[in-house]
Structure 1
Amino acid sequence: MIPLRIKISLFLIPAIVIGLFETLRHTLLENILPIELGNWLTACIDAGVIALVARSLFLAYANKERELSRERASRAVMEERERLARVLHDQIAQSIFYSGVQVSAAKVKLQQGRDGSVEQNLNDVLLSLREIDENVRQAIFNLKQDTIGGSDFRKRIRLFLDKTLSGKSISWDLEMSEGDITLSAADQVQLFGILQEGITNIVKHSKATQVTVRLMSRSEDNAHWSFTIQDNGIGFNLQNVRDGRYGMEIMANRARDIGADFHVESSPGNTQIRVER
């Protein structure tokens, strides 16, 4: 909100200054200052006074914009940390609980002398522990990233793709526009979240061997862009997307939060997740 003193100044100060000048002009300066020159001086003084007074207004707006920008960035990071907390609770805690159930079942079978069927329970425990390990590593990776501090977004994506895909026999490629695309801290947080969700789906379901991630500018000022995750996997039925599977609703919500459009196209050998603004 504009301070009251600035509102009053915008109305009163120019009027007072011009009023004083016009009084001087038509009294003391009447025989000295030509009418045409006096008119030009009045206009220049009026413009100068308004510019000086308005400077306070512009500074107030600039400060408010910086505050809003910091608030949006902080909110985006807080939302991301809340998402990580949900991952820790929903995925890791459940996996630990499931492992405990399997260990208990194996213990009962051993007590009953059914040694032959214990192996399946132990295999399930091992798979659950591997999933816990992967989720914990990913959560740690996310928490270590300094989005507000201005860490290089390209480097962050490259590091994530390398850590996630290189050990899965999935080759990957990253393509980004040469110019500096305008991405706020909130944009980076939400796009990175979409990338994580998309890559996780590819690893778990797609049977892909190649992944390409693109962040390309769509305008000369780099304010409009397209973010694409593409793989050569088996694809999926888009009806499953409408049924809320594969975290598509989460990704769509993330895109909507930053004012972007979310698109999904899938066919055998070519699946694309695309976010555009």
Structure 2
Amino acid sequence: MTPTRIKWTLFIVPALVIGGFETIRHTLLEQALPMELGNWITALIDAFVIALITRRLFQQYVNTEKELGKERESRAVFEERERLVKVLHDQIAQSIFYSGVQLDGAKKLAEQHGDKTLKVKLDDVHLSLREIDENVRQSIFNLKHNTIEAVNFEDRVRSYLNNTLSARQISWDLQFPDALPLTPWEQVQLFGILQESVTNVIKHANASTILVSLDVQETNPAKWTFRVRDNGIGFDLDAVRERRYGLDIIANRARDIGAEILVESDNTGTSVCVRH
């Protein structure tokens, strides 16, 4: 029933019901039904009829509020993505470019002074800076083009793994449930965690396989576990305590969605687990 039909029904039906009851009350029940009791019965009938008619209207109102809440949440995610794109482009990318120009100048000076050791070190720094620049530009591209509304989360993850790992001869598997109980903001943070985890695997793990999975509790869909597991050489968590920027980024993203992070690693591989 449309809102317009509900409105007209709300105007007409109670009047007809009350009018019919009052007619019966004053003709057939005038002697049997006391005046005060009849007034109370009339009020109860009126309330019951109105509640019955407006139940559908209130249900539509509740559904509309839910849809508006999802739309506001998606809009907030979109605005955050736009802000991040601006920060990455206007601040970080330009700073990297300026640093590269300065580094080229330092390399020329090293060549002029014949300092080969310094030039080798500067070349290493230049390669690292180029890698950072590529990662930043890829992040900008992902933020601008991989919108949640256009592609669902599973397809985004599948596309990312295929584009990132297939060219590097790293096999991968994806295990997701049919229904994903994830909010848009949770999807953004989990995708960032996936990117950081895969980058670490490519750089350090020497792995041949990566498994990405999402397990959801049947009794409570709000409880889920997101896991990225590789079969690489692993690492010592204590040994990288001073160089754990990637792990800190993952932990911060998990904290932003109210989840906890668990990292386990040994000589059979590494597991990054996010529990909500």
Q: How much identity, in percent, do the aligned residues show?
A: 27
The yes-or-no answer on 1:255 pairing with 2:254 is yes
1:214-271 Cα distance to aligned partner (Å, 9 max, x none)? 1233216855432111112333444578778233343334334434343322233232
Corresponding residue for 1:153?
153
5+ residue gaps, structure 2: 1-13
CA–CA separation in structure 2 for the residues paired with 1:263 and 1:40 = 64
The residue number in structure 2 matching 1:171 is 171
The 1:75–1:250 alpha-carbon spacing in structure 2 relative to 1, beyond 3 Å, is farther
Please show how residues 59-208 of structure 1 align to structure 2 within 5 Å.
59-88=60-89, 92-112=93-113, 114=114, 116=116, 119-120=119-120, 121-122=122-123, 124-149=125-150, 151-177=151-177, 179-208=178-207
Aligned-pair distance for 1:182?
2.6
Give the alignment's TM-score, normalised by structure 2. Answer: 0.73
Bigger drift between 152-161 and 264-273 goes to: 264-273
Cα deviation, residue 213, structure 1: 0.5
d(CA) in 1 for partners of 2:203 and 2:89? 19
Deviates further, 155-164 or 128-137: 128-137
Describe the shift of the 1:92–1:234 C-alpha distance in structure 2 as closer, same or farther (beyond 3 A): farther
C-alpha displacement of 1:89? 6.1
Structure-to-structure mapping, 1:257-276, within 5 angstroms: 257-276=256-275
Q: Which residue of 1 aligns with 2:51?
A: 50
Structure 1 counterpart of 2:110, which letter?
Answer: K
2: CA distance, partners of 1:90 / 1:273: 30
Tell me how far apart the structure 2 counterparts of residues 242 and 49 of structure 1 sit (CA, whole Å). 66
Measured after TM superposition, the shift of residue 86 of structure 1 is: 4.4
In structure 2, C-alpha distance between the alignment counterparts of 1:28 and 1:80, rounded to whole Å: 71
For 2:91 and 2:267, the matched residues in 1 are separated by 31
Letter in 2 for 1:174: L
Change (3 A) 1:205 1:239: same
- 8 Å Cα contact 1:176/1:215 also seen in 2: yes
Q: Which amino acid is 1:104 matched to? A: G
Classify the secondary structure of the residue corresponding to 2:26: coil
Cα distance in structure 1, aligned partners of 2:244 and 2:117: 33
Tell me if structure 1 keeps the 8 A contact 2:172–2:210. yes
CA distance in 2, matches of 1:244, 1:127: 15
> What is the aligned partner in structure 2 of residue 5 from structure 1?
none
Classify 1:97/1:235 alpha carbon distance in 2 versus 1 (closer, same or farther; 3 Å): farther
Q: Equivalents in 1 of 2:154, 2:118: separation in Å?
A: 47
Structure 1: any 5+ residue segments left out of the alignment?
1-14
Tell me if structure 1 keeps the 8 A contact 2:18–2:45. Answer: no
Between the aligned partners of 1:137 and 1:96, the Cα distance in structure 2 is 15
Greater mean alpha carbon deviation, residues 39-48 or residues 166-175: 39-48
- Secondary structure of 1:173's counterpart equals strand
Q: Deviations over 1:31-87 (max 9, x none)?
A: 69999xx99998666433113234444333332222221111111232234344444
Count of aligned pairs: 261
